Structure 1
Amino acid sequence: MVKKSMAVSLVAVATSSLLVLGACGNTDTASSDKKKEDTKTTETTKDTTKDTTKDTAKTDEKALLDWSYSGSTGPTHWGSIKPEYKISDTGKKQSPINIETKDAKEDKAKVSIGYKYQPTMFKVTRKDKMVQVVAQPAKGRADSKITVAKKDYTLKEINIHTPSEHQLDGKNYAAELQLKHVSADNKVAIISVFVKEGEKNQAIGDLTSVVASSENGKTVAMKQAISTLGLITADSKIYEYDGSLTTPATTEGVSWFVYEKPITMSKQQLSDLTKQLDGNNRPEQKLNDRQISSN
């Protein structure tokens, strides 16, 4: 219809006086400009709609987990997301906790840990704000292990939280490394190490740079080994308690060993971690009637 109307107008213009021709020319120019403007607006609207749809799809693609650290799927809602997570609400031995050091009961036998650690290669997988740093077996070399109460536990993975999940006398640290170990009978023991800003940490190899460049849902092999024993401060007090995993399904029955003395990482190393993981710490849980032990 628009093209036919324009054709009729052009015929009328050709048979009109010069004055009318001039007037029609101005009108046609205005109409043409308006049409271009309308077309441009329509194209812009289409582009904006296209971009919005693209961004929404991209956001949906990033949501790999059915839980998160904020909003309607955040920690206060974990227990209601699905039945398997219910213990997040009903459990009496949940982690993390605030450790009141003055209330810890000395029990050196219970808190004694024997280390059989080796430099270990890891693969890093990021799912939203959760990172799993999974130990890789090495041909001809034993796995890194700890011995607690005459039971051996094999180091399976390292989980990273920024800031720390556990607290000491109400204080959080810049980050927390949680070294998860599993025994032959599937019992879990986790060594927790606080991190503060300071000297560059050489023991962790290229872990922080790998985390910084990690893509959601992708697994990348580290190029450098982690000197696992270098993550442990030998002269530190250790606090032990019975807790849970700190991510869904927050399963209980986990033996926690929290080191009081932190290790250090450089400002850049910590920045590498917070780039992907900032705010991935579950809030403090109630201690209830649990006893914290120390060495």
Structure 2
Amino acid sequence: MVDRIEIRDSAMRIATFALSGLLLFSLAACSGGEKAAHGDEHAAPDHEAGHGDGHVSAGETLTQWGYSGDEGPSHWAQLGGAAAKCSSGARQSPIDLVSGGKPQLSKVTLDYLSSNATIQNDGHTIKVVPAKGGGLTTDGIRYDLKDIHFHSPSEHTINGRRAALETHFVHRSAKGDYLYVAVLSQVGVADPMLAPVWTYLPSDQTAPAAIPDLLINARDLMPAAEEFFVYSGSLTVPPCSEGVTWMVFSAPLSVSPEQVSAYETLLGSTARPIQARKDRDLLTVISAG
């Protein structure tokens, strides 16, 4: 018998319980109010606003968001409404992931499919949307893959070290709970699996366009070793909704300087600063099958 990750509607934290000699991990899911605020990251209407040149004064409502200046992360709460979480939230992402403690076994099944997909430059990221990309299952709960998108430099850090690129795999359950898988990539040799996708990088902000003659399988863009940091956090873009379960691969991949430059030439820096971990638990989990 093995340990398992269980996602519950609880106090939005990772709690560890002893049960008949097993460890049962309870990962917080979204509350009803937070679900209403959720959209796929970079996909909800208030995520679509482009960059502008307007300056924002204290107390003034922000109408667009970005990653620098008066539209940058320190001003996101000025978007109003649910975006207040960007400054007031207690469980925000990204965080620094610190190694330590004995890894725990967990039942996680990665079951991705090769699929046709679209690609889009939405002004904030490059987003790839598979038509039918499969997903993952943990503790009998299915999470379907909704999109794949990128940040440069990495948003999460591991032991204080930032990587050159971070790939987010956005998943959602039938109940509307969100689970994000993240992969950090360090500068080194080119990523051969990423290269075909990069061939179709849109140079301008446009609507989604089909990727011709290429099937996308999310598993090809992930490390072989299924070991993760797991914690309860938030979206890393407005409205910064909390109740997101994060599974970040502990092993990095490699990307070439040219692959990083191709992304940054189009979008610049697209990483939210590190947020306070506060009292959240952080687990190291190894998949048991």
Q: TM-score range by the shorter chain?
A: 0.7 to 0.9
Inter-CA distance 127–63: structure 2 relative to 1 (3 Å threshold): farther
Structure 2 stretches lacking a partner, 5+ long: 1-48, 54-62
Q: Distance in 2 between matches of 1:105 and 1:186?
A: 31
| 2:92 matched residue in structure 1 | 94
Q: Distance in 2 between matches of 1:205 and 1:149?
A: 34
| 1:133 matched residue in structure 2 | 128
How do residues 52-201 of structure 1 correspond to structure 2 at under 5 angstroms? 63=52, 66-102=64-100, 106-109=103-106, 112-137=107-132, 143-201=133-191
Cα distance, 1:63 vs. partner? 4.1
Amino acid at match of 1:113: V
Q: Distance in 2 between matches of 1:199 and 1:61?
A: 33
Q: Tell me the number of residue pairs that the alignment of Structure 1 and Structure 2 aligns.
A: 227
1:26-77 CA-partner distances (Å, limit 9, x unpaired): xxxxxxxxxxxxxxxxxxxxxxxxxxxxxxxxxx986497111011111011
Greater shift, 230-239 or 182-191, is seen at 230-239
Cα distance, 1:227 vs. partner? 3.0
1:93-133 CA-partner distances (Å, limit 9, x unpaired): 1000001112x564323xx4211111222212222232322
**Structure with higher helix content:** 1
Q: CA RMSD of the aligned region, Å?
A: 2.1
| 2:209 matched residue in structure 1 | 220
**Which residue of the other structure, out of 272, 285, 288, is the alignment partner of 2:275?**
285
Identity of aligned residues (%): 27
Cα distance, 1:238 vs. partner? 0.9
| 1:6 matched residue in structure 2 | none
Inter-CA distance 61–230: structure 2 relative to 1 (3 Å threshold): closer
| TM-score w.r.t. length of structure 2 | 0.73
Inter-CA distance 197–226: structure 2 relative to 1 (3 Å threshold): farther
Q: Distance in 2 between matches of 1:99 and 1:73?
A: 27
Q: Distance in 1 between matches of 2:50 and 2:164?
A: 29
Greater shift, 65-74 or 217-226, is seen at 217-226
Structure 1 stretches lacking a partner, 5+ long: 1-59, 138-142
Q: Distance in 2 between matches of 1:229 and 1:198?
A: 20
